[in-house]
Structure 1
C-alpha cells in the first residue's frame, strides 16, 4: 500500500457548536521512529465531545483548529523503524490519554488527551506513539471496537479498579443507558453481579432488561428512585453506585448506597449549572463511604479489559445504536445530542 500524502479531517475554526466543524485536506507524513501510522475505520462519540464543541469542557484549552473526538479503531499501515510490537495490518485502538500507560496520571499525561488537549481522531489517517495503541479483540468489528477507548474503559475502571473491585453477588446501581452505562451493565452481568438501572424511558429500560438488568426504575415516574433502590435491597442499599449525572443526582446516589459502599463519579450529564448544593461530608463520614472520581483509564487497564471482553464475547458485545458516514458527522453529533440513543453512536470512515 502506498502511504497517503494527505488526510481528510474535521476541525473547529472556532468553538461554540459542532455545526462549526469544517472538513478539509491536510498533509500527513510517514511515522517517526517510535510512531505508527493508522488508517481510521471508525470513531465514536462521547458526551465530552459536545462540551468541547461548545467550549464548555472544564479545565481544557484546546489547540487552534482542534480536530475532535478521542475514540477510534483502525488498521496499522506503516510503523517507524524502532517499533517492534506492531506490524502492517494490525487492528488497533488508541488510548484516550496517549501517555497514560499505568495508573499514574500527571498534568503532562493529561496533556496527551485526544480530541481536547491535543488533536483527536476525526481524520482518515493519523500517527500515534507506538506505546499508546492496544490490539482490537479479534471478534469485534471496527465500528464495535471504536466504542472501547472511553466508554468501555471508563466502565471497566469504575467497576474493577476502585476501592472494592466488582465481584459476583454485588449489587450495582447504573444511571442511564448511554455508552458508559451500557458497558457498566454488561460488565456487571458478565461478572455475576446484579444491576439496577435507572432511566427516564421505559423503552430504554426494556433494552436494559434484555441486556441483563435485574431491576429497572423510571426516574420520571419514580422521582424518589433512591427510596425504590432501598426497597429493592431490603433497606441495605447497593454496594456501588456508578454516578454519571453528577451533582444533580449525587444526593440520591449517597442515599442509595450501603454503609461502607462505594460511589464512582465519572460524568456530569446532569450539567454544570443550576444544580443543588450537595453536602457530602456528613454522609461520607456517617456511612463510611468511598467516593472516587477518575478519568477514563490506562493502556494496561485497556489490555486487561479486552481480556474480559474476549472471554465474554456475547455478554459484552458493544451496543451500537446508529452508524453515520463520515460525510454526515454533524448529523451524528445532532443525533447524539438528542439522547435518543441507547449505547453508542459511531461514525464510519
Structure 2
C-alpha cells in the first residue's frame, strides 16, 4: 500500500523553530486514489520544499488557512501519469509538473481559500506517493530536467516569472533586476532574468553564495554582511540611478533597503518574510520616489507554462541544493529551516 507524510492533529505551533516538525509523521497503508473524469493518477517522483510548508506543518496561525488533520504537506511536485481517467487529455507515461494553485487565467487574484493551494487547508499536497490531479493543474515536463529539478520549479520559478513578467512594470531586455540571496526563488530570479536579457544584481551574506550567484547569471554581487547599508553599493553600481525592480524575499528586515535601491518610479515585489518583524516608515520612500510595491504569493498555470518554455528555450537547470530520501523528509525540512541552502531542497518520492 502507498505511504504518505501527514500532519498530526495536535502539537507545536511555531514555524520558526524545529519543534513544528514533531507534527509530521510517516503513514503507511494509505489508499491509492482513483481518477475521475478529466483527472489523472500521478505517481509523484519528487516534492520541493518551501518556507510556507513549515508554517503549514506547524499549523502556525501566521498562515491564514487552518491545517486539517492528516494533511500531506507541500505544494511543489513532479511525477509520471500512471492512470488517466475518462476524457483526460493526458496519457499514461507522461512526465508532468503539478501547478500548486488553481487560478484561472481569466479571473482576478483569488483568495488563498479560492486558489485551493496544494498542501494546505484541506487540499492534499505532494509529499505522498500518489495523487489524483485535475487535468488543468498539470504542465508538461521539459525532457532535459530530472524529476528533482522539475519539483524545484513550481513555487520558485513560478513566483519569479509572475514577478518579472506579469507585474505593473513590463519586463524589457536591459532592465536591472535585484535578487536577494540564493534560495530557491532568488536563484530562479537570477537565472530567468539573466537569460531573458536583464542585468542582475545579487545580494547575499556569504562570498561563496555570491560566487554561485555569478554562475547563475548575476553581473554584480553585494555581501550585505560586509555592507549593511547595501543600497548605497547598489546605487554606486547603477551610477546613482537604482535598479528597475527588486524582488524582496526577507520582508520587514530588508524592504527599506530594497526601496532605497530602486530607481524613481521603480518596483519592489514582496515575495517573502524570512526576516524578523521590524517597524519601518515606508510612505516617504514610496510617495516621493513614485515607487510601487506589489505582493506576490500565487502562481497561475499560464505562468508555469512560461516557466517551462523559458527553461526549455535557454536549457536552464534550476539549482537544487540537496535531494533527500523519502525516509529523511524531516531532515530535509531541518535544512530548509536553516536558510543556508543554495537553491531548492527536494525530497525524492522514488525514481
TM-score band, normalised by shorter chain: over 0.9
Answer whether contact 2:81 2:91 (CA < 8 A) is retained: yes
Q: Deviation per CA, 1:137-188, whole angstroms, max 9, x where unpaired?
A: 1111111100111011001111111111222111111101000000000011
Answer whether contact 2:268 2:294 (CA < 8 A) is retained: yes
1:66 Cα deviation (Å)? 1.7
Instruction: Indicate how the Cα distance of structure 1 residues 192 and 243 shifts in structure 2: closer, same or farther if over 3 A, else same.
Output: same
Answer whether contact 2:177 2:245 (CA < 8 A) is retained: yes
In 1, the alpha carbon distance for the partners of 2:346 and 2:318 equals: 11
Answer whether contact 1:76 1:91 (CA < 8 A) is retained: yes
Q: Deviation per CA, 1:70-99, whole angstroms, max 9, x where unpaired?
A: 10000011111121x211011111111135
- 2:221 pairs with one of 216, 230, 239: 216
Answer whether contact 2:246 2:258 (CA < 8 A) is retained: yes
User: Who is 2:303 aligned against?
Assistant: 301
1:10 aligns with 2:5: yes
RMSD: 1.5
Answer whether contact 2:74 2:125 (CA < 8 A) is retained: yes
Instruction: Indicate how the Cα distance of structure 1 residues 20 and 109 shifts in structure 2: closer, same or farther if over 3 A, else same.
Output: closer
User: Who is 1:129 aligned against?
Assistant: 134
In 2, the alpha carbon distance for the partners of 1:52 and 1:201 equals: 29
Corresponding residue SS for 2:174 = coil
User: Who is 1:276 aligned against?
Assistant: 278
User: Who is 2:161 aligned against?
Assistant: 156
Instruction: Indicate how the Cα distance of structure 1 residues 132 and 52 shifts in structure 2: closer, same or farther if over 3 A, else same.
Output: same
Deviates more, 1:123-132 or 1:16-25: 16-25
1:233 Cα deviation (Å)? 0.8
Corresponding residue SS for 2:117 = coil
Unaligned runs of 5+ in 1: 1-5
Corresponding residue SS for 2:311 = helix
Instruction: Indicate how the Cα distance of structure 1 residues 257 and 193 shifts in structure 2: closer, same or farther if over 3 A, else same.
Output: same
User: Who is 2:75 aligned against?
Assistant: 70
Answer whether contact 2:47 2:346 (CA < 8 A) is retained: yes
1:340 Cα deviation (Å)? 2.5
TM-score normalised per structure 2: 0.92
User: Who is 1:51 aligned against?
Assistant: 55
User: Who is 1:324 aligned against?
Assistant: 324
1:105 aligns with 2:109: yes
Instruction: Indicate how the Cα distance of structure 1 residues 287 and 108 shifts in structure 2: closer, same or farther if over 3 A, else same.
Output: closer
Deviates more, 1:110-119 or 1:285-294: 110-119
Instruction: Indicate how the Cα distance of structure 1 residues 163 and 297 shifts in structure 2: closer, same or farther if over 3 A, else same.
Output: same
In 2, the alpha carbon distance for the partners of 1:169 and 1:129 equals: 39
Answer whether contact 1:102 1:299 (CA < 8 A) is retained: no
Instruction: Indicate how the Cα distance of structure 1 residues 257 and 88 shifts in structure 2: closer, same or farther if over 3 A, else same.
Output: same
Instruction: Indicate how the Cα distance of structure 1 residues 40 and 167 shifts in structure 2: closer, same or farther if over 3 A, else same.
Output: same
In 2, the alpha carbon distance for the partners of 1:294 and 1:215 equals: 25
Unaligned runs of 5+ in 2: 13-19
User: Who is 2:268 aligned against?
Assistant: 263
Deviates more, 1:33-42 or 1:8-17: 8-17
In 2, the alpha carbon distance for the partners of 1:152 and 1:308 equals: 10
Q: Deviation per CA, 1:281-314, whole angstroms, max 9, x where unpaired?
A: 222221111211122310011112211111000x
Instruction: Indicate how the Cα distance of structure 1 residues 115 and 102 shifts in structure 2: closer, same or farther if over 3 A, else same.
Output: farther
TM-score normalised per structure 1: 0.93
Answer whether contact 2:47 2:127 (CA < 8 A) is retained: yes
Instruction: Indicate how the Cα distance of structure 1 residues 195 and 15 shifts in structure 2: closer, same or farther if over 3 A, else same.
Output: farther
Answer whether contact 1:97 1:110 (CA < 8 A) is retained: no
Corresponding residue SS for 1:27 = coil
1:235 aligns with 2:237: no
Answer whether contact 1:137 1:306 (CA < 8 A) is retained: yes
Moved over 4 A (4+): 99-103
Instruction: Indicate how the Cα distance of structure 1 residues 103 and 200 shifts in structure 2: closer, same or farther if over 3 A, else same.
Output: farther
